[in-house]
A and B are shown apart, each in its own frame.
Chain A
Amino acid sequence: MADRSVAIGEWSGPAAAMFVAGLIGAAFAAVLWRGGGDLSLGAAGLAALRFTVLQALASAALSVLLAIPIARALARRSFPGRALLVTLLGAPFILPVIVAVLGLIAVFGRAGWINVGLGALGLPPVSIYGAHGVVLAHVFFNLPLATRLILQGWDAVPAERFRLCASLGLGPWAAFRVLEWPILTRIVPGAFALIFAVCLTSFAVALILGGGPRATTLELAIYEAFRFEFDLPRAAALSLIQLTLAAGAAALALWLVPVLPRAPGLGRTANRFDAPKGWRRVADGVVIALGAAFLLLPIAALLTRGAPALLSLPPSVWASAGTSLQVAALSTAFMLALALPMAGWIASARSGRAEAVGLLGLAASPLTIGTGWFILIYPYADPAAWTLVVTATVNALMALPFALRALVPAFRETLAGQGRLAASLGLTGLAYWRVVALPLARPQLGFAAGLCAALSLGDLGVVALFAEPDQATLPLQMARLMGAYRMEAAAGAAVLLMALAFTAFWLCDRWGRASA
């Protein structure tokens, strides 16, 4: 039971939430205002809307469908390296989008490994560019996420139930009906909704692999309307659609989403008595191998290509890496300043409705926020001077929902377990935060900070909208190198970016896990 006397973030939480809502609302109002009320989408806008929804549906459906056999195989087989593989499934979440795309190009691109193989067999090459490339990249990111979510559902089933199934002598089909089907119906809708929502606001993937009338997402269309044509009415109309769509999907996801994996390492050994033998064992092995190959090959290809280029990176890459680190640090600090009071407030709240606030970040399209703030800043200052601040802010908003997902349960647990004790000892307000809440939520704090830092380091979004030619974050610099067909240098920058993102996450997460 929540009591008045053991609540935290009572005023700072709502204040932070209002601030977030204000940031998004002001941007949106600015876009609407400068848009001048003409909200017709036009044929190109309609095509972008159609493509955005269809690619998100396809990406979510494929990710979830392919994840089911992989999760199932992982859940019931134990083999050397299983724990490592499960941990690696968490990696794409913090892998910079542009890095992964370059890796995918190295495998599936014109001169990639697949086409080299096809050519050797005398088969026609495949192209990674276009709608299917966008979906491929989205599946690359979200298949591991879906696998982890479903695997988590499996791990949540008590071992006794598997034992019971075995003692009843249930065959594979009966075991599926009794054990696995309920897991899937519990996890799959949420996983689907989450991936759908995430893919709706896809920008960097579409920027590189998509484009043109047949593969432009709304985010990309907003970017093009703004950056190339400075057509504010169109940007406004597109933003309105994007916001409605993303907010709807986020609301759907709130209903359906299972608790996200907090940290890598769902390492529980599978102890399944019902694991079928014979050809099914081989099939499981093949499924796991294919899944692992899909995840690891692009990274391996990138490393092979980029590592040699690391030594000869142009100075502009190093400079942009420095910029990126600054943005990430600012973004993480900003995210924590918002997430901590909000998480405290949500954890103290009687109703779960406050949690919806956390999804504001998911609902808001980074490009819309960027466009809006560009409009707001423009009359008073040079928006380019604000590039890094706006980028850091938008990155913080993007990481906010995930940070809340990690922090809220931790704060709630502490409040339930030690809240009354703290109140009876006079540990209230700042003293409670300092002595109780923060030390006990240290693992989640480290995870959230690492996640935000990694996401911010790897983000290519708003910065592309604002930045002047002499300004760049590392992902933007990478995109410019790719645009100039300096692929070796781009691969080198990608390896550097990947190393920075993983190191940032690892350092923060490790800090969180180290006992005080």
Chain B
Amino acid sequence: MLQLENICIALGDFTLTANWSLPARARATVIGPSGAGKSTLLNALAGFTPHQGRITLNGQDVTTATPADRGIAMLFQDGNLFPHLTLLQNVGLGMRARLRLSPQEADRARQALARTGLAGLEDRKPGDISGGQQGRAALSRILVQNKPLLLLDEPFAALGPALRDEMLDLTADLAGETGATLLMVTHAPGDVARIGGHVVFVDDGLAHPPQDAEALMADPPEALRAYLGV
């Protein structure tokens, strides 16, 4: 379970508060107007943005842990792969912060790449493969990282609709396989329906508690209605 206790992020004039929890293995999307602080919320959870309050993950206080030690795997808007490393090396870094892998680790990285349909591309570099394949490679790393919380900051925003849906499904499947809680920022209402589960609506300095996605989208409150334009 992910628990946010009186989180307050202050950056200049901007503040964002959050005080809620999300059950283990849940899936949630984070939506809201641009500039509302969706990415900021994820960055705070991942340990990149200073904040007040307490974050616990499965009962462990991770508030002051380094980004690598808080049980979180994250996909960013871009730059999810190191351009100078092969896919195998990129995935391998999910297990250990060094380039040399043991045979077992290399096997695991290969299996992860195969799981996302990238068998045979282990020695390619990110620049040599397509955008969709890059997304898959980043997801392979998520698989070997095997962390309890998976944060996604619109990593597939640049992909076309069909490819994007495919990546979302794959992400959801992988989260299911590793048993991770999934929290994903998006600006597309279609993604909300696709991921299902819960919705965290961020607006006006507040990250609202997660609500059931289906119920919320069926009958959105005033602020969400304004954002969705319905």
Contacts and interface: CB of A to CB of B under 8 A. Distances in A.
Interface of A: 3-6, 417-418, 420-421, 423-428, 431, 435-436, 439-440, 516
A421 B94 CA distance: 10
B58 interface: no
Given A431-B98, A435-B97, A418 B47 contact: no
Given A6-B48, A427-B93, A428-B68, A421 B76 contact: yes
B84 A423 contact: no
Contact of A431 (B72, B85, B97): B97
Nearest to B147: A424
A6 B67 CA distance: 10
Contacts of A420: 43, 46, 48, 67, 74, 76
Identify the 10 closest CB pairs spanning chains A and B, nearest first.
A426-B68, A426-B97, A417-B79, A423-B67, A424-B67, A3-B48, A431-B97, A439-B84, A427-B97, A425-B93
B79 A423 contact: no
B68 A424 contact: yes
A322 B49 CA distance: 53
9 contacts: A3-B49, A421-B80, A421-B82, A425-B97, A426-B68, A426-B69, A436-B82, A440-B82, A516-B84
B139 to A, nearest CB: 14
Contact of A435 (B50, B67, B68, B99): B99
B66 to A, nearest CB: 6
B83 interface: yes
A420 B99 CA distance: 18
Interface residues of B, number: 27
A418 B82 contact: yes
A428 B66 contact: yes
A423 B67 CA distance: 6
Contacts of A5: 47-48, 66-67
A516 B80 CA distance: 20
A425 B83 contact: no
A424 B46 contact: yes
A413 to B, nearest CB: 10
Given A5-B47, A435-B85, 16 more contacts: A3-B48, A5-B67, A418-B82, A420-B43, A420-B67, A420-B76, A421-B82, A423-B66, A423-B68, A424-B73, A426-B97, A427-B68, A427-B97, A428-B97, A435-B99, A439-B84
Interface of B: 43, 46-50, 66-69, 72-74, 76, 78-80, 82-85, 93-94, 97-99, 145
Contact of A424 (B49, B72, B78): B72
Interface majority SS (helix, strand, loop, mixed), chain A: helix
A164 to B, nearest CB: 29
A119 B48 CA distance: 74
A120 B168 CA distance: 83
Contacts of A6: 48
Contacts of A440: 82-84
B201 to A, nearest CB: 24
A348 B26 CA distance: 36
Contacts of B68: 423-428
B19 to A, nearest CB: 23
Contact of B74 (A4, A424, A427, A435): A424
A418 B77 CA distance: 11
A439 B82 CA distance: 10
Contacts of A417: 78-79
A425 to B, nearest CB: 5
B211 to A, nearest CB: 28
Contacts of A431: 97-98
A401 B72 CA distance: 40
B94 A425 contact: yes
Contacts of B84: 439-440, 516
Nearest to B151: A424
B20 to A, nearest CB: 23
Contacts of B80: 421
Given A425-B97, A431-B97, A4 B82 contact: no
A4 B83 contact: no
